[in-house]
Amino acid sequence: MRRWLIFGGAGLVVMALAVAAIFWSAMQDLPDEAELAQFAPALPSTVRDINGEIVGNFTRERRIYLGYNEIPKKLVEAYISAEDKTFFEHGGLDYQGIVAAVFTNIESLFTGGRPVGASTITQQVAKSLIGNEVTYSRKLREAILARRIEATFTKQQILELYLNQIFLGRNAYGVEAASQAYFGKPANQIDLAQMAYLAILPKAPSTYSPVSQNARAVARRDYVLGQMQANGYITAAERAAASAEPLVAVPNRALTQARASDYFVEDVRRTLMARFGETEKDGRNSVYGGGLWIRTSVDPRLQIAAEEAMRNGFMRYERGRAWRGPPAQIEIGDGWQARLQSAAVSTGFPDWKKAVVLSKSGSDSTIGFTDGSTGSLPGYAASLPLKGTATSAGQALKPGDVVPVVKSGNAWALRQAPEVSGGMVVEDPHTGRVLAMVGGFDARSQSFNRATQARRQPGSTFKPIVYATAMDNGFTPSSIVVDAPYCVYQSRSLGQKCFRNFGNMRGAGAQTLRWGLEQSRNLMTVRVAYNTGMDKVVAQAKALGLGSYPAVLAIALGAGETTVMKLTNAYAQIFNAGRALEPSTIDMVQDRDGKVIFRRDNRACPGCAAADWNGEPMPRPGGKPRQVMDPRTAFQTVHLMEGVVQRGTGTRMLALDRPFAGKTGTTSGPKDVWFVGGTQDLVAALYLGYDKPRDLGGYVQGGTVAAPIWLDFGKAALKDAPKLPFVIPPGVRMVRVDRRSGKRVFGVWPTSEAKAAVIWEAFKPDSEPRRTGTVAGAGAGQAGPSRRVRSDAEFMKNTGGIY
């Protein structure tokens, strides 16, 4: 007996140790009470524009979080009746159900069945935290965690987590998202029958589809209604009325995103992922789970104007070109609608649609759309010739071809996405905030963002940096530079390099610095760069953020690569009196609780948050801006670029009828054409070219192709903007000069004519042309009584200055 007692005691100890080991193993890596208190379900991040309106969201799970008090009471009661009627009585585990499940699972050991469990709502919350693996060890971990959850949260908090966390089909997580996915309205607007239906979905949403499994779904819904009556939540009359209601759901549709600002929002997503991470594993404030509220700087009015201008510009360039064939093909058997939906085809314009050819009759086609509807594409509406052949597109189309089309009367007409592309960025020169961004024709099929990712040669748009550097090193706008053939000896291996003007134009002899930039003369630019020093030019380009370039003369003509974003910001800094700017697309980020976790402008501002005015001067943000260019030089450069628009290569912009400065650019080939410019309050840059650079055609220039795109944008963007002149910084003297010679003049005043003989020119102190004489009396070549010449300083004093 003693021996048996010893063996029995030892066996119990072993069993106890084994049970303890099992529990210890199961408890590993489970969150403790402190970690549970910080738990929050994954929520989509929402993107807002400059006005606070929603323009997009980042989500992989359709979820809209509701607080417990926002969830309809009857909906809570429906879930309790369907899932866990003793929820408010138990401590996280249903022991009666566990005992019944134990016997079932013992039987499954011999029959090979799956283990089952008596999961309470609390256990289902625990399951969402540790995974859905069907094993006994997972069930044990789930039970332990359920007890911890009950110790950490109130019953109402547990229900709130559960009703916002559960998957209910149609990519809907939580009752609010499910209500909108199935019935097209929020949870507080659905009726009792619809609430009961949502309550049957947690275990197997596909089993109770309102479309394919309607009868089964109605039967299960009615069972839940019966349980609600049995639990005293509804009356017999309410049950009968709800059971008599048919189960009708809205069609299952994917979440739609706003088409405008696609490239902008994608750039925001990449920026946020680099800062906060992608999923919940990367932290509480991840992009796809943190429920962030992102305030961006995108201005929808400017964004739409930029997109329309760029797309129209692409199509103008492509007009009349041959059809290149279908951009995609799919099988047209069962399920062709889903395959068409996923086909990557550019539709660009809002009225373009993606369609697949279902059948042919001669050159006429019957086409189908993603919603299953069909239409007609007659041969006359697809008459472009197939590239390299005499066959029309209508004849070449075949079943399975996916093409963009547009409505034309009672039929549809074939369209073709342009092969040429480009990018555009619009920036506020006072703050560096990016107001609009276009990265191509259609972000949904062309994810490559040409505004930020494409490195292109800026061509002549780089010349203002050369001239600005020159004016910082002894040159003035009136300095005389020879426009004549210019050759330099590079090295023994490279030999001599001779430059030439665009189009091989002959030299014009001695001309002013202003004329050289207005007419974009290559020979004058390289001569200026050589005499200034290319080391100084590339240093200025680096300070403006364009890039790090070798100190070779070809860089002066825009041979170094940069991006549209960098070029826009460089010009914005020049327009901003040479003050440094950092381009940004995000103003502020808040977490799910409203706490600001990122702010673009972190300057201290004592008194800015005061409740009321205290009689002191208006508080202003502190900090002193960093200068990347002498403000006087920056204004001189802007003033020269005003001449580019008034008399030079950018005269198309005169149609905007306002103070405007800009510069055209055309690279060798030409492979890219540019236009950069703006007003006192807005700067934008754009380029047009092929992704794999090739010649655009000899007739293509920045002033004839890129400038009209900017003009289209400007007409919409600046329609109601005030016509403000560029602000002259302290230390600049405005002097009257002869426009062609650069010499100082007296007795004659500038006019508003673009090609007036006398203009106001901007000089730094003691750099303006010296006085050479006085104006004689009656006429040219006649001596007359001398008279006092009114000085520029006197004029400015009497008129209050020049603005």
Q: Return the active site residues.
A: 83, 460
Q: How far is residue 561 from each of residues 457, 529, 566, measured CA to CA in Å?
A: 4, 18, 10
Q: How far is residue 219 from each of residues 14, 207, 357, 366, measured CA to CA in Å?
A: 51, 12, 42, 42
H/E element, 798: helix 792-799
How far is it, in rounded angstroms, from Cα 84 to Cα 218?
20
Please enumerate in sequence order all residues whose Cβ is within 8 A of that of 283, keeping only pairs 6 or more positions apart, or say none: 276, 277, 290
How far is it, in rounded angstroms, from Cα 26 to Cα 23?
5
Whether the upstream peptide bond of residue 670 has omega within 30° of 0, thus cis, is yes
Q: Which residues of 716-730 are buried (b: 16+ CB within 10 A; e: fewer)?
A: ebbeeeeeeebebbe
Bridge partners (DSSP) of residue 482 are 510
CB of 775 within 8 A of CB of 789? yes
Q: Which residue bears the tokens 């189960």?
A: 247
Beta strands in 326-455 (DSSP E): 328-329, 352-361, 364-368, 374-377, 401-408, 411-414, 421-427, 434-438
How far is it, in rounded angstroms, from Cα 250 to Cα 138?
37
CB of 664 within 8 A of CB of 462? no
* DSSP track, 537-574: HHHHHHHTTS----S-GGGGGT-S-B-HHHHHHHHHHH
Nearest to 755 by CA among 635, 618, 639, 651: 651
CB of 577 within 8 A of CB of 631? yes
If one counts every other C-beta atom within 10 angstroms of the C-beta of residue 190, the result is 23
Q: At what angle do helices 463-471 and 522-532 cross, to 10 degrees?
A: 40
Tokens found for residue 679:
């007003």
Long-range contacts formed by 60-63: CB under 8 A, 24+ apart: 60/288, 61/171, 61/173, 62/170, 62/171, 62/172, 62/173, 62/177, 62/181, 62/255, 63/164, 63/172, 63/173, 63/174, 63/176, 63/177
CB of 603 within 8 A of CB of 721? no
How far is it, in rounded angstroms, from Cα 454 to Cα 672?
12
* DSSP track, 15-71: HHHHHHHHHHHHHTT---HHHHHT----B-EEEE-TTS-EEEEE-SSEE----GGGS
CB of 124 within 8 A of CB of 83? yes
If one counts every other C-beta atom within 10 angstroms of the C-beta of residue 504, the result is 6
Nearest to 162 by CA among 41, 44, 283: 41
Query: What are phi and psi for residue 129, nearest 5 degrees?
Result: -90, -25
Tokens found for residue 802:
């020049």
Q: At residue 556, what is the residue type?
A: A
Beta strands in 650-690 (DSSP E): 661-666, 672-678, 683-689
How far is it, in rounded angstroms, from Cα 432 to Cα 565?
11
Query: What are phi and psi for residue 522, nearest 5 degrees?
Result: -65, -45
Nearest to 402 by CA among 445, 361, 362: 445
How far is it, in rounded angstroms, from Cα 652 to Cα 276?
45
If one counts every other C-beta atom within 10 angstroms of the C-beta of residue 173, the result is 26
